[in-house]
Amino acid sequence: MVRTNTFNKEEFKKDIKDNCKLLYRKNIDECDDQQKFQAVAYSVKNIIIDKWIATHKEYEKQDVKIVCYMSMEFLMGRALGNNMINLMAYDEIKEVLAELGIDINVIEDQEPDAALGNGGLGRLAACFLDSLATLEYPAYGCGIRYRYGMFKQEIKDGYQIEVPDNWLKDGNPFEIKRDEYRYEVKFGGYVRSYRDEKTGRDMFVQEDYRSVIAVPYDLPVVGYGNNTVNTLRIWDAEPVNTFNLNSFDKGDYQKAIEEENLAKNIVEVLYPNDNHYAGKELRLKQQYFFVSASVQRAVDQYKKHHDDCRKLYEKVTFQLNDTHPTVAVAELMRILMDEEGLEWDEAWDVTTKTVAYTNHTIMSEALEKWPLELFSRLLPRIYQIVEEINRRFVEEIKTKYPGDQEKIRKMAIIYDGQVKMAHLAICAGYSVNGVAKLHTEILEKQELKDFYEMMPQKFNNKTNGITQRRFLLHGNPLLSAWITDKIGDAWVTDLPQLKKLLPYVDDEKAQQEFMQIKRKNKVRLAKYIKEHNGIDVDPDSIFDVQVKRLHEYKRQLLNILHVMYLYNELKKNPDMDMTPRTFIFGAKAAAGYRIAKLTIKLINNVADVINNDASINGKIKVVFIENYRVSNGEIIFAAADVSEQISTASKEASGTGNMKFMLNGAMTLGTMDGANVEIVQEVGIENAVIFGLSSDEVIRYENEGGYDPMEIFNNDQAVREILTELINGKYSPEDPEMFRDIYNSLLSNQGGRRADTYFILKDFRSYAEAQKQIDARYKNSAGWAKSVMLNVANAGKFSSDRTIEEYVSDIWKLKKVHVPMN
Ligand code: F58
């Protein structure tokens, strides 16, 4: 690989010291750690900035097509370490800091995670930006600059407490405010229409509206080992006129106040729901706010060099990260017709060549449907356009399926007083993709069957991926160095190179080296756990990890029920032959998701009982890691032996944590769901442990109205025992009723909800059996080492670089732009 890094240590050192003076009027050794972080970050930005300028010059010069990745969420994590890595200057900067008596880890720990996302969907967006820049593709991320990101989780007395995430408190050294790109975004009022006598066209004007000003902040997205620096553009809201008393005199006092509040509220906070849709007015405001600003900007940028908007699609694609930005369809139509003077058909032609849609879930509770009343009141002109899109679409359905009322009911964009955003995205998008093979198949055959039948050419799969730069090179320096030592460093930008590790998987010495590294990473995590939880864990125990958002379908409950079962077994048979196991959990629950929060409490209470039972000799430990997020995730993945991927088959669209574990040498313990299917395909079923119902079986049961969990309760004594322990106070002596709702959710139908909706009891025995297999396999240390090394060697497919190349060649049709320097 050509090293483009022209790092000068002495200059850099001086720059840090200068920054300390400029920013704080202090010498470096008078600065506290946060100030040192800021100084270092500004120095890194100083290296980035020329590349950033050069990149955008080159894009303008070559007049290239750009993808705008539109997303309500970008879960970026920390920037400093990642930027150092991608500048190929990590080790040098680490040395410079060491010479200044500063520990790089301490500095990196000063940076708050940019947690502008919930989970998989937001992190995927962040991985995609990394890959786009690394592969030299022109791209913008378009999103919202939330004042408060994903809440910080504290555990008090076993309960989750949500603490506001004031991530901008100390300022963000990497961002640049772009005051010159301000846009007005209008809400409410009504649409006045009239005929323009000169042109004979019908004109539409929004009147009596409230508006805000969208102001972008740009964050650099540094490509690895090249000069490309793309942009994540996140929009802040400012009031149109800062409040002035004049408006009081004019009788606009009310309006001024409303606009001030609108600006303040709109970007205040990220909605903390994962795989659940909350139909809140403010949420729709957020969506239209960032979409309108982004589309206005994209059209203006295009017009700088082109005068015919009919060819906009040659220069830009809007990729919709789920349905959240789907108002982009109507906003683009509005701009093209109302502002650029295109006819409906011309505007529709452009729009349907510009917008593409990614689906991330088949969970019905996550599908966005807006009440007509709300939608039309908040976005009157946008609503008119959606109505017309729907009218024409329904006509098309009628032509294709004459007399089939059922098709209209199932496919219309507006139906039953609701606007269905997925239908709008599919109707207007030129591409509809799922995020793993199985997921795409389920979309085509079940969830979106009617759409697939009507327009099969739009449908395609893009199996998710992750960036190895963050989740191996940065997160696991020991394993990275070992791999590079064995096969060179080309894997950093070409992950399938990891196949070159295959000759080592049977080599005893290599196996030992590999497992030694795993052990060191376990020691690192053990230290983190001791510092943050006060719990001692044994690095020689099996680290069995489930970290992800807490959701019933992800079945953290299955995991903890099994822990309770194993504990009972061990109590009955204290000499039971088992390798000590540390069960590690990390999960945030949406603030309003009762049963999810109760599951966290259950995990913590079970942990309390088991960890304090000296009679089991520490054979089982249970740890709940507080505030799971990108930055501590990097430490956790590196230390895992077992990767718990145990969702109810058919429910997890892809999963990406599964890939992060695989890449760091953990064995997947999972169902045949999401991308697990492809992981097994790559690594071989003998190098994973698979259990549970298949997606077909789950779907069949669901169509038949479920199954009867009481049968299992009545016939399986061990299961009956652990369920009874949920309500007999064993894990909540102060309140035996505490976990009654969990008990009920497993055994009784409740108001239209089937008992054990997620087949936890149905899969329990098969899961326990799989857990036994894990124990047996781990005993054979050479066999285990070989299997987990094979996991690393076969992880190549799961790089987001591969995913991005597929998006580029099948959907976006971008050209690489090599950015020269000087
Ligand atoms: C996730 N979705 C999928 N949604 O659950 C996961 O299987 C997949 O790997 C990942 O997307 C990436 O494709 C997800 O994270 C959300 O968090 C939404 C946030 C906004 C409200 C609706 C859910």
Tell me, what amino acid is at 804? I
Nearest CA owner, ligand 1 atom 9: 655
Do β-strands 210-222 and 229-239 pair in parallel, antiparallel, or remain unpaired? antiparallel
The verdict on the CB of residue 676 being under 6 Å from ligand 1 is no
Active-site positions read 360, 548-549, 554, 656, 660
Judged by phi (left if over 0) then psi (alpha if -120 to 50, else beta), residue 584 lies in beta
Rounded mean pLDDT, 734-752: 96
ipTM over 0.90: yes
Q: What is the pLDDT of residue 243?
A: 54
Ligand 1 atom nearest 366 alpha carbon: 22
Rounded mean pLDDT, 664-686: 98
Q: DSSP letter at 820? A: -
Q: Which residue has the tokens 């490509």?
A: 223
Rounded mean pLDDT, 684-703: 98
The verdict on the CB of residue 465 being under 6 Å from ligand 1 is no
Q: Per-residue pLDDT tens for 455-495?
A: 999 999 999 999 999 999 999 999 999 999 999 999 999 99
State in Å: Cα 60 to ligand 1 middle.
34
Rounded mean pLDDT, 555-582: 98
Label residue 247 by pLDDT band (50, 70, 90): low
Contact by Cβ (8 Å): 546, 599: no
Nearest CA owner, ligand 1 atom 12: 121
Nearest CA owner, ligand 1 atom 6: 655
Q: Measure the CA–CA gap between 665 and 478, rounded to whole angstroms.
A: 12
Q: What is the pLDDT of residue 246?
A: 57
The verdict on the CB of residue 434 being under 6 Å from ligand 1 is no
Rounded mean pLDDT, 5-34: 95
Contact by Cβ (8 Å): 86, 52: no
Query: How much of the chain, in percent, has pLDDT values that exceed 90?
Result: 94
Q: Flag whether pLDDT at 591 surpasses 80.
A: yes
Rounded mean pLDDT, 501-510: 98
Contact by Cβ (8 Å): 421, 322: no
Q: Measure the CA–CA gap between 650 and 668, rounded to whole angstroms.
A: 17
744: which residues sit within 8 A by CB, 6+ positions away? 750
Rounded mean pLDDT, 707-715: 98
pTM of the model: 0.98
Label residue 751 by pLDDT band (50, 70, 90): confident
Q: Per-residue pLDDT tens for 221-237?
A: 999 999 999 999 999 99
Tell me, what amino acid is at 766? S
Q: Per-residue pLDDT tens for 535-553?
A: 999 999 999 999 999 999 9
* Sheet strands side by side (includes 689-690): 620-624, 581-586, 542-547, 642-645, 667-670, 689-690
Q: Measure the CA–CA gap between 486 and 483, rounded to whole angstroms.
A: 5
Record the tokens describing residue 399, joined without a space: 């032509």
The verdict on the CB of residue 36 being under 6 Å from ligand 1 is no
Q: Measure the CA–CA gap between 795 and 664, rounded to whole angstroms.
A: 9
Label residue 401 by pLDDT band (50, 70, 90): very high
Q: Flag whether pLDDT at 814 surpasses 70.
A: yes
State in Å: Cα 512 to ligand 1 middle.
38
The verdict on the CB of residue 652 being under 6 Å from ligand 1 is yes
Query: Which neighbouring-strand residues pair with 193?
Result: 204
Contact by Cβ (8 Å): 389, 397: no
Q: Flag whether pLDDT at 4 surpasses 80.
A: no
**Most distant CA pair in the chain, distance:** 93
State in Å: Cα 797 to ligand 1 middle.
21
The verdict on the CB of residue 655 being under 6 Å from ligand 1 is yes
Q: Which residue has the tokens 């001791």?
A: 530
CA atoms within 13 A on the CB side of 281: 11
3-state DSSP assignment of residue 43 = helix
The helix or strand, by DSSP H or E, that contains position 252, with its residue range, turns out to be none
State in Å: Cα 431 to ligand 1 middle.
19
Q: Per-residue pLDDT tens for 767-809?
A: 999 999 999 999 999 999 999 999 999 999 999 999 999 999 9
The verdict on the CB of residue 418 being under 6 Å from ligand 1 is no
Q: Flag whether pLDDT at 248 surpasses 70.
A: no
373: which residues sit within 8 A by CB, 6+ positions away? 417
State in Å: Cα 207 to ligand 1 middle.
37
**DSSP state string for 313-335:** GGTEEEEEESSTTTHHHHHHHHI
Q: Measure the CA–CA gap between 460 and 440, rounded to whole angstroms.
A: 7
State in Å: Cα 549 to ligand 1 middle.
10
**Mutate which of 283, 361, 660 for ligand 1 pocket (most atoms within 8 A of beta carbon):** 361
Q: What is the pLDDT of residue 250?
A: 62
Q: Flag whether pLDDT at 96 surpasses 60.
A: yes
Q: Which of 236-245, 349-358, 518-527 has the lowest mean pLDDT?
A: 236-245
Rounded mean pLDDT, 611-626: 97
Record the tokens describing residue 606, joined without a space: 């079970």
Record the tokens describing residue 719, joined without a space: 């299961």
Ligand 1 atom nearest 464 alpha carbon: 13
The verdict on the CB of residue 128 being under 6 Å from ligand 1 is no
Q: Per-residue pLDDT tens for 637-661?
A: 999 999 999 999 999 999 999 999 9
The verdict on the CB of residue 35 being under 6 Å from ligand 1 is no
State in Å: Cα 17 to ligand 1 middle.
43
